[in-house]
Structure formats: C-alpha cells, structure tokens
Amino acid sequence: MAAYETPVSDRMWHLTATGTTPASVLQALLHHLAEGDAWDTAIGSPVDEKTVTAATKPLTDAGWKHTIDGRWIRWTTPSEDVGIQFDAFAAQTPSSTLATWTIWAGPSIDHPTWTVTASPYTPSVLLTDLAENLAHGTGPRTYTPVEVKRPAHLTTAPTGPRPRATTAHSSRPR
C-alpha cells in the first residue's frame, strides 16, 4: 500500500504485508485507511521520540516488553511471539530502502510467520491503530494454512451383466 498526496506526486509513505498476514490485521489497516485520518506525517519531517511514543503507547499500556538493541527498539508480548520493531537508523535515512517499522508474529522476528513493514513517514495514528489491534489480541493470530481436502474417488460396482470375453481370431461360428 502506498500513499501519494496527488496522483502525480512522489510517494509519501508505504506499507508492505506478507501474504500470510491475518485478515484481521489487514481489515484493521483498511478500515483505518478508509476513515481518512492517516495523513498526519509531513513529508521531510523526521520520525521523532513523540512519533515513536504515540505509535507504541498501546503496547506499553498492555505491558509488552521493551528492549533496545543497537539501532533497534523492540516491543514484544511476554511470550515474545508478536512484536513491533523500530529501526532508528532507517527512520533517519528516509531515502533508505530499509523498513522503519516491522510488525510481526511468529517464533521470532528473524523467523516470522507474517510481517507488515512500514516506511519512515507512515502516519503514527495508523501505526498506533495497528499496535492497538495487536495489543488487544485481535491481530497476532498466526497464519495456519487451510488443509485442502481432495474429493474422494468413489468406485461403484457395475450395474449390468459382466461383458463376455471374446477372441478376435476365432473363425468358427458358435
């Protein structure tokens, strides 16, 4: 998903979701975008402490664990199977192709079941809404592939008399 100020302007911000992202997370995202209030981040303004604090407040309020590892700030559930990671380096380098925000669920951030990544200027209200969704348990569901059941091939008994065996080389009348 990408946001543009006008149809011919430069991209303002973007989000990318993996194909395994739960429908509830995508639904919350689309609902928020439909509301039209996802335009609070001005192009060219750096992501600051206020933006990060606002976007992650639902996680802090829900008691998620907060850690700092070099350039990354991470919030995870107590079971550490769902989280949001903020890359401070990517946030200060807007021309970088690195994701500033990574929302994930699965065994770890290094082996997620699904992810949503966001660029530096992604509106904090949108990120807050996604964080709220995760913090209240509606979004961390992991992807479970649907088992495809093959149709059973039924064999039926013949309904008519058995065909008789004939030989093609027989020259005698019967």
pLDDT tens across the length of the chain (174 residues): 777 777 787 777 788 999 999 988 888 888 877 776 555 555 556 678 888 998 899 999 999 999 999 999 999 998 889 999 999 988 888 777 788 999 999 998 899 999 999 988 888 888 888 888 888 865 444 434 434 444 444 444 555 555 565 555 555 555
Q: What is the pLDDT of residue 64?
A: 93
The per-residue pLDDT for range 131-149, each reduced to its tens digit, is 888 888 654 444 344 344 4
Q: What is the pLDDT of residue 45?
A: 63
Which letter does DSSP use for residue 94 in this model?
T
Q: What is the pLDDT of residue 71?
A: 92
Q: Where are the domains of the chain?
A: 17-38+46-135
Q: What is the DSSP string of 32-80?
A: HHHHT----PPTTPPP-HHHHHHHHHHHHHTT-EEEEETTEEEEE-TTS
Q: What is the pLDDT of residue 87?
A: 93
Q: What is the pLDDT of residue 12?
A: 78
Q: What is the pLDDT of residue 46?
A: 65
Residue 140, token pair as written in the block: 């961390």
Q: What is the pLDDT of residue 168?
A: 53
Q: What is the pLDDT of residue 18?
A: 93
The C-alpha torsion from 17 through 23 and 28 to 29, rounded to 10°, is 20
